Amino acid sequence: MKSARPVRSRALVSEQVGEAVNQMDQTTQHNAALVEESAAAAESLRLQAAQLVECVAQFRL
């Protein structure tokens, strides 16, 4: 039964690697969603800044 121990050990390592890959995938997807949200917020701020510039331009002498 000595050969069963390395097989179980490899199976455990394989399972741990699979779990780590799944966690990395979830983290990557979450980060991608955050990037999209940040890009949308940045675009919104850019538009608001442009509107503010237009408003302030009306008061220039």
pLDDT of residue 7: 81
Within a domain: residue 4? Answer: no
Does the pLDDT of residue 2 top 70, yes or no?
no
Q: What is the domain range of residue 33? A: 26-60
| Dihedral sign, Cα of residue 34, residue 40, residue 42, residue 44 | negative
**Burial class of residue 25, CB neighbours in 10 A (0-12, 13-18, 19+):** exposed
Within a domain: residue 10? Answer: no
Within a domain: residue 7? Answer: no
- Position 53 confidence tier, pLDDT thresholds 50, 70, 90: very high
Within a domain: residue 8? Answer: no
pTM of the model: 0.67
Within a domain: residue 53? Answer: yes
Report how many domains make up the chain: 1
Within a domain: residue 32? Answer: yes
